Each structure stands twice: as C-alpha cells, then as structure tokens.
C-alpha cells in the first residue's frame, strides 16, 4: 500500500478521486493500492517553554535557547487555558495509522516551503521510516495530478527548502518567546503577557543615518528612505509585514531605483489570510470602517449552498462583500471558508482595477467551483443572488 499525505481535506479527496481511491474511511480514503489521508494545515508547532521545564521564567533564564527543538500538537485557547486541538489530535491518530500500514509515502503537501515543513514535521513527529517521494503540484487538474504521479521526485531535492522554512520558524520562536516574555517580566509585573510581535532587523544598515519610526526605517510611497537613492522594501520598514507585500515592495523599489520614482505599492490592498480550518481571508475595508465614510451595501453568500463545497465536505463559511451603494465601488471582501486564501486574490484584483459590482457580475464563473460563492456574494449586494432568499425590503 502507498500512502499519499496532503495538508488539506479537499485536496486529499480530489487526489484520491484521480488515483482511484474511492472508498471513504474516517479521515482518509483507500483503493487501487493507495491510502490518501490529510492534515488540517500544519497541525504541529514548536513546543512552548514549559515543555522544556521553563513554566515560569525569570530574568536569569534568558536567553531561552532549546538544545533540540521539540514539536507539539497545535493548541487552542479555552476558558481553562491552552489545550490540544482535539480535531488535530484525532486526525494525527488517523494519519499515524495510515502511514504505519504503508510501505511508501508520497508527500503531496502544498508546493511551498510551508508545505514542505508541514510534511517533514509530521514525518519526524510520528517517527516514520518509510521511503518518501514528493508529488509537486501547481494545479489539481486530472492531467496535472496524473502527470505528477508518473514523475514523482526524490524528497531530498527539497531539503534546502525545508531548512529555509524550519530556520525561519525557529528564528521566529527564539525572537518571539524571548523578547515577549522578557518584555512581560520587565513591564508587565508578571500580571499579563505582552506581545511585541516581529521587529525589523537593523543590524546591517551600518553607519547610514536613516530616519526611523519606532525602530523601523521610514520610507515614502516609492519605498525610498530619507537618504535619496536608497530604498528599503519589506519587513525592515514595518509597513506591512507579510511576505507577499514585501515581494511587491521589492518590485516597486527596484523599478524606482532603476528608472526614477514612478511606481507605488498600494499596500492598503494587500490580501491577508489565516491558514486555519476553515481558512480566513480579507482585503480592503471592514464594514465598520466603510460605514464611517460611505453609504454601504452588503452582500453575503454561504458555502453551505455551493456544490463544490458540499462535494468536498467543506461547506462551512461565507463570502461577504462591502460596496459603496451609490457607485458600486467595491470597498472590502471578507471570506471564511475553503480556499479563502486563493479566492481573496480575485477580490484584491477587483478592488485594484476599480471594477464595480455590476461589472464583476458580467463575468462567468466556472461550475462547480468555490469561486461561485464570490459571484453570488457580489450579486447579493444588488439583491440579485438567485440562490439566496430575497432580501427584506
């Protein structure tokens, strides 16, 4: 038996269908010599200080640097404190059972550093020893999956990608845990936890005297610093500390450095996503922010009425559209549901290109797809969503 491991249930079920694993089990599917299972995103994280015997830290305990980083099951906050996520615990047991019964493992997690880290962490956590091959996909079409299955790659090809992600994860842990807890001890009188988040690393700027703003290099809309001709895109300016925002800032900075200041990065339109289950994503204004300046119209549509979501056993959540009632300008889009991190990019494009609600509704969305929920939510702004109950007058 060959195990295929993905990091999303809907992806796992789609791959299972394509490879002929049609028999549904609890948390996995089998058939045609395959057992396809999945995680709910990254269900493991680096262990907390208490897991290293440091439940209550004092100044003498710093810096806290684990000799060997441990992994733990993802925790959730309750009224009694942080406890293991029961859904993650149960699915990990299922994954452990499936992998133990298979001779070979195919890693089919997301084709990214994070996806590679998700698989490697789980493989290590469960103490697996089976040989592994990598299914590297940029598309979930039948043709792409079948082609990928006939061209499986050796997992060692992605060692550097994993090391990059693992190093970043551990560096974030070291900075976050040490700085936040030391800051709490010094300023919180041990009564509450104070989070400082991430901070720019200014060690490499040398003796250049940039204008700073709360420890961040101040830049204008062209990404140029107070020193003419020097640009500082990305986390170092603290404007929008997201990888995709930093990438865009880098493009803008490079264009302006080469050809003069003419491009700007519209960071207010940066989509944000939270990779929970279901996923959460947003771009633009919230309803509360929009109502401060506009007469707004709201459209909403639930994934519970979407065929693709129902077939993927992921029919939870909704898409919410916030628009200016007078001109139909799209002000914000918020999504909770399957593939939210993917769908939000359509919304970001719509807002960036200043496409109105009516203009968006002239497009055709494939069926069955998750994106139909986006279309229906836009239609609901005008009271025209045919799969929604009529709006009250």
Q: Are 100 and 69 in contact (CB under 8 A)?
A: no
Mean pLDDT, rounded, for 354-370: 95
DSSP string, 48-103: PGGGGT-SS--GGG-S---SS--EEE-EEEETTEEEE-HHHHHHHHHHHHHHHT-S
Range in 173-177, 203-207, 246-250 the model is least confident about: 203-207
| pLDDT confidence of residue 65 | 84
pLDDT reported for residue 279? 93
Long-range CB pairs of 214-218, under 8 A, 24+ apart, other chains included = 214/238
Q: What are phi and psi of 305, to 5 degrees?
A: -105, 15
Cα–Cα dist 157/133, whole Å: 10
CA-angle at 74, arms to 69 and 75, nearest 5°:
115
pTM, two decimals, is 0.57
Condensed to tens digits (0 to 9), the pLDDT of residues 261-318 reads 999 988 888 999 988 888 999 999 999 999 999 999 999 999 999 999 999 888 999 9
Do the Cβ atoms of 10 and 338 come closer than 8 Å? yes
Higher pLDDT, 74 or 131: 131
Q: What pLDDT score does 215 carry?
A: 80
pLDDT band at 195 (very low <50, low <70, confident <90, very high): low
Q: List b or e across 361-374, with b for residues whose CB sees 16 or more CB atoms inside 10 angstroms.
A: beeebeeebbbbbb
Name the residue among 203, 373, 180 with its Cα closest to residue 281.
373
- For helices 113-125 and 86-100, the axis angle rounded to 10 degrees is 70
Active site residues: 367
Determine the average pLDDT of the residues in 49-77: 80
Phi-psi region of 307 (alpha: psi -120 to 50; beta: other; left: phi over 0): alpha
Average pLDDT over residues 153-176: 91
What angle in degrees, to the nearest 10, is found between the helix axes of 9-19 and 142-150?
A: 70
């Amino acid at each position: 038996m060959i195990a295929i491991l993905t990091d999303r249930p809907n992806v796992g079920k789609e791959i299972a269908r394509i490879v002929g694993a049609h028999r549904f089990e609890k948390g996995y599917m089998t058939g045609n010599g395959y057992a396809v299972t999945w995680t709910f995103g990254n269900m493991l994280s680096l262990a907390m200080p208490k897991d290293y015997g440091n439940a209550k830290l004092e100044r003498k305990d710093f810096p806290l640097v684990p000799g060997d980083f441990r992994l733990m099951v993802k925790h959730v906050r309750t009224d009694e404190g942080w406890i293991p996520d029961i859904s993650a615990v149960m699915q990990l047991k299922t994954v452990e059972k499936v992998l133990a019964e298979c001779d070979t493992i195919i890693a089919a997690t997301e084709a990214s550093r994070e996806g590679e880290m998700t698989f490697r962490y789980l493989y290590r956590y469960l103490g697996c020893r089976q040989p592994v091959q990598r299914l590297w996909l940029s598309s979930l079409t039948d043709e792409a999956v079948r082609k990928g299955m006939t061209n499986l790659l050796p997992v060692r090809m992605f060692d550097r990608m994993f090391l990059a992600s693992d190093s970043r994860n551990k560096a974030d842990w070291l900075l976050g845990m040490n700085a936040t807890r030391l800051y709490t001890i010094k300023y919180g009188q041990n009564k509450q936890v104070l989070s400082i988040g991430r901070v720019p690393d200014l060690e490499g700027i040398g003796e250049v005297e940039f204008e700073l703003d709360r420890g961040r290099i101040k830049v204008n809309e062209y990404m140029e610093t107070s020193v003419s001709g020097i640009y500082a895109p990305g986390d170092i300016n603290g404007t929008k500390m997201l990888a995709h925002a930093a990438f865009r800032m880098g493009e803008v900075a490079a264009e302006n450095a080469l050809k003069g200041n003419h491009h700007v990065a519209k960071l207010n339109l940066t989509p944000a996503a939270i990779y929970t289950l279901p996923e959460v994503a947003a771009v633009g204004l919230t309803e509360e922010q929009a109502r401060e300046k506009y007469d707004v119209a709201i459209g909403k549509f639930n994934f519970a009425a979407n065929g693709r979501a129902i077939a993927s056993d992921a029919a939870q959540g909704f898409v919410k559209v916030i628009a200016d009632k007078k001109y139909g300008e799209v002000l914000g889009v918020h999504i909770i549901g399957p593939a939210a991190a993917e769908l939000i990019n359509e919304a970001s494009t719509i807002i960036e290109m200043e496409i109105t609600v009516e203009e968006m509704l002239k497009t055709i969305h494939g069926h069955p797809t998750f994106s139909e929920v986006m279309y229906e939510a836009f239609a609901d702004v005008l009271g025209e969503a045919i799969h929604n109950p009529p709006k009250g007058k």
